[in-house]
Amino acid sequence: MIKIYTVASCSSCKKAMDWMDKHELPYQEINLITDPITKEDLLEILALTEHGTVDIISRRSQAYQRLNIDFETIKLNELVQIIEENRTLLRRPLVVDEKRLQVGYNDDEIRKFLPRPRRKIEIETAKKRVLDLEWQTPSDSHEISS
């Protein structure tokens, strides 16, 4: 199951959920402010990062500025506790499944959550559209828009 960690005022979170809806992918929205998040949830997210805390901590957040902590030097249990107490530290949206993590919304990268057969079909369809456009002459494109 895909989980999307969000906050209500986040436009990128809305885009991620709209994309999931458009592609008919089931997901669970987890509001970082109001919904319960377990230590295990946070550990799963951390386990999926490539560069650890750098990937998921928002250095521009007010919580980050206020706390003034070097996240690379603290112990894992301390990190999890700090995040549990200051959830706005997390970048968003965090889109997670059993194998993948996407931080933020990116139209191309989010496609990795499509099942492989559907990804292949979408790529083939997109290539066909590009080829069809390349074969149109300028007069053809004028006729299409009329």
Examine the residue annotation and report whether 10 is marked as an active-site residue of this protein. yes
- Among residues 2, 10, 17, 82, the one annotated as catalytic is 10
Closest-CA residue to 112 (of 11, 10, 122): 122
H/E/C letters for each residue in the chain?
Answer: CEEEEECCCCHHHHHHHHHHHHCCCCEEEEECCCCCCCHHHHHHHHHHCCCCHHHHECCCCHHHHHHCCCCCCCCHHHHHHHHHHCHHHECCCEEECCCCEEECCCCCHHHHHCCHHHHHHHHHHHHHHHHHHHHCCHHHHHHHHC
Quote the CA–CA distance of 65 and 102 in Å, as a whole number: 24
Residues known to be catalytic: 10
